[in-house]
Amino acid sequence: MIERFLEQEKTIKLVLSSDRKSVFLLPKVQDLEVLEVVNKAINLIVEFTDALSGESHVNVSMVMPVIQLLNDDILAHKEEDVTLTREIKTRILDYLNDKYSDERSKSLLNIASFLDPRYKTKFLTASDNISTQMKVREEAISVTSLNSDNTYPTTSDSNIETDTSFTLPPQPAKKLRLGNLFKRRDSLHDTDISLTDAEVIDNELKRYLALPNTDYESNPLEWWKENYSFFPKLSPLVRKYLCIPATSCPSERLFSTSGNIVSCKRTCLNPDKVNQLVFLARNLRMD
């Protein structure tokens, strides 16, 4: 809004000066100087706010790297900054640092950044790095043990009556190719090596950290999709953490959609219909 006001400064002056009753609203030189300083300071974080308020890409893992970048570079005091600019930068940083100082929130955001192949441990302090890896390891072990407990009986174990008169057609014999021989050899070799879940997870963490970080513009979900077979124990944590929105903007957009649907003329809609209309409004794309 401030940027738009500065762009249309001449037009606004002409409109206000044409009416005697509105002449007192004409901005003074000091007012314009203040607006320019505020606009310059706020424009530094516009791109970050747009990125963190999106819902079509992973952004929860960006929070801690963005805060560190703002502290170290973007909002750091410069020699050419006037007093007002310095004060605005300080207020913004104080607010952000205090907002994400809660240990529970900080832990969640650190785990999300760790599981993002773009960042991993790059923006973590030494102490946060150790504690984050320990939490990821413990949670991966917990999820693995939980999944192993939730086993279901197979068809052979269940008491299902089958029709003995029905016979399956004979399957054609598979050709024993060279690749199958190597696969059989690897499967026999793997069965001899029995590792605990904790050891498997430790190996996955080592392999994950040994890989180079991906480009900042890459999609972490695509990376995990392609490398799922290499990290089957860590992948469930990725689905849990990287789906979290960084801000409440997606929820606010959803409430705005609901408000547009349930208007004064549609107060008799039942809840099921409202849910269906909101779902369609947010998910149906008409090309």
Residue type, 245: P
Query: Does residue 15 form part of some domain?
Result: yes
What sign does the CA torsion over 103, 203, 198, 183 have?
positive
Query: Does residue 86 form part of some domain?
Result: yes
First to last CA, the chain: 31
pTM metric for this prediction: 0.71
Per residue in 71-84, pLDDT (tens digit) is: 998 888 888 888 88
Query: Does residue 279 form part of some domain?
Result: yes
| Alpha helices for 211-286 (secondary structure H) | 220-226, 235-241, 249-261, 271-283
Residue 156: pLDDT band with limits 50, 70, 90: very low
Q: What percent of the chain has pLDDT over 90?
A: 29
Q: Are 117 and 211 in contact (CB under 8 A)?
A: yes
Structural domain harbouring 257: 249-283
Domain count, the chain: 2
Query: Does residue 32 form part of some domain?
Result: yes
Per residue in 20-62, pLDDT (tens digit) is: 777 777 777 787 788 888 888 888 788 888 888 877 788 899 9
Residue type, 101: S
Is pLDDT above 80 for 159? no
pLDDT at 81 (0 to 100)? 82
Query: Does residue 233 form part of some domain?
Result: no
Query: Does residue 274 form part of some domain?
Result: yes
Query: Does residue 45 form part of some domain?
Result: yes
Q: How far apart are CA 272 and CA 274, in angstroms?
A: 5
Mean pLDDT of the chain: 80
Query: Does residue 39 form part of some domain?
Result: yes
Q: How far apart are CA 246 and CA 112, in angstroms?
A: 10
